[in-house]
Structure formats: structure tokens, C-alpha cells
Structure 1
């Protein structure tokens, strides 16, 4: 079960538009995840700038990194928490 601290952290991370875009794309991608380059494009960021956001999300235990066929792939670890956080933000939460 998710703690209040985890929930608060997830909401805080997702209030950054680029991070929310990354998480939305990964929710849609499902278990297959997405390559770092593609996620950077979805978020409208250069790969070096996106890497900062990937690292923040990984430190918060929201993302996991997988290497497949010499590609860096990111997948969501906290699918339920991210989905709930995005639903909350979409409904006007924190505005």
C-alpha cells in the first residue's frame, strides 16, 4: 500500500510538466516502456535535459531503467501511484 509520503512525492514530481509528460507516455507504453530518446522527444526536451528528469524520477522510485538491445528503456514502477496522481492533477488538483 502506498504511504502518504510516497503519494505526496509522486504528486510533487508530476507537477513538473516535462515529468508528467514522461509519465503519461510511459503509462501508455505499458510494460514495454520507451527508449530515453523517444521520451525526451515526447517531453520536448534534449536528451541531456531529459536525463535530469529521468534521474529524479528514478530516485523517487517512480521509474526503472532497463537496457534492451543496447538501448536504454524506461518503465514505470509506480504505475498505480502515477495514474492516480495524474488523474488528480487533471481534475484540477493543486491549481
Structure 2
């Protein structure tokens, strides 16, 4: 596994909310998902989710977009996230 995928795998494993957010964004495709919906799916308050979003933006995993007056997030590192989640799932690390 490459360094970027290794770091991303570790980041997703150590905080299940990150993995949940990335899975939702991977499924959403180019449309992205509103921040409030991602927070709800991850079981986080919006302020806590905002911190997670900021971490993922700094790592260049997600991007911010404004859609219909809503803050939405889109997955930028689609291939790296798919590979990291696939590794986590296949190795049983998500259990």
C-alpha cells in the first residue's frame, strides 16, 4: 500500500466517524452530501463534525461546495478512499 493510502487507512481506522463520512461521500458521487446530513450519519454534533471536515479538507480528502444554500462536501481522493476502505473491510479492521 502506498504512503498516502496507508496514512488514510490509519486515519479512517482510528476514527470511525471519518470512515462513515468517507463511505457516504463515496456513495454520493459528484453530488456530495450536505454537512448536516454527514454529521447525522456519523453520529456527531455539527460542531464536532466541522472539526472532522476540516481535518479531511487539510488532508485533501474532501472539498467544500455550496449547493442550494447548503454547505456540502465532495470526495476529492476517491481512489485513495476506495482503496483504504477496501483494505479496512477486507482485513477485518473495521470490526
TM-score > 0.5, shorter chain as reference? yes
- Separation in 2, partners of 1:51, 1:12: 20
Determine which of 12, 15, 23 is the counterpart of 1:14.
12
Deviations 1:17-58 (A, max 9, x none): 000000000111110000000000000111001111101111
Q: Is the 8 A contact 1:13 1:57 kept in 2?
A: no
Q: How many Å apart are 1:11 and its aligned residue?
A: 1.1
Residue 84 of structure 1 is matched in structure 2 by: 83
Q: State the superposition RMSD in angstroms.
A: 1.6
Q: Is the 8 A contact 1:35 1:73 kept in 2?
A: yes
Q: How many Å apart are 1:65 and its aligned residue?
A: 0.3
Q: Structure 1: 5+ residue runs without aligned partners?
A: none
Residue 47 of structure 1 is matched in structure 2 by: 46
Residue 5 of structure 1 is matched in structure 2 by: 3
Count of aligned pairs between the two proteins: 93
Q: Which aligned runs of 4 or more in structure 1 are off by greater than 6 angstroms? A: none
- Separation in 2, partners of 1:7, 1:85: 6
Q: Structure 2: 5+ residue runs without aligned partners?
A: none
- Separation in 2, partners of 1:85, 1:6: 9
Q: Give the TM-score normalised by the residue count of structure 1.
A: 0.90
